[in-house]
Amino acid sequence: MKSAKSGALLCALVVLGGVIPTAAAAAGGILGGRVNEVVVAPDGGVWFNVEGTYTGRPDCSLGNGYNRMVVEPDARGNRNVLATVLAAMHTGKGVTAVGTGACNVEGGHELLLYIHAYP
């Protein structure tokens, strides 16, 4: 009986491991720090700047003096990203933003994969 429970737990961990993204699994850069700028385009695109560190910045992300990531205008959940970065900026809380490694939305800025806000 104990091995059946262990097997079920292992199976659940394998399934979750394929669903929950991790920073190590990301192909792009990782931004960490405080949000100090948020821009919303008329088409619904969102990009934000983080004052902090940008490790693994892809070659396509020129930066132009910014630690910035962008969210596609029609991306599912872009309003949630906007709410997260605005809340983090106005409360002074930190974020970790993980990119996809692609810069195909706004030239010179990496496309966001996911964002984590923390206290």
- pLDDT tens for residues 1-31? 444 444 443 333 333 333 444 444 447 999 9
First to last CA, the chain: 42
- pLDDT tens for residues 43-89? 888 989 999 999 998 888 876 778 999 998 887 888 899 999 999 99
What distance in Å separates the CA atoms of residue 48 and residue 25, rounded to the nearest whole number?
Answer: 22
- CATH class of this structure's domain 22-118: mainly beta
Contact by Cβ (8 Å): 44, 90: no
* Residue environment code for 41-70, b if the CB has 16+ CB neighbours within 10 A, otherwise e: eeeebbbbbbebebebbbeebeeeebbbbb
pTM of this structure: 0.73
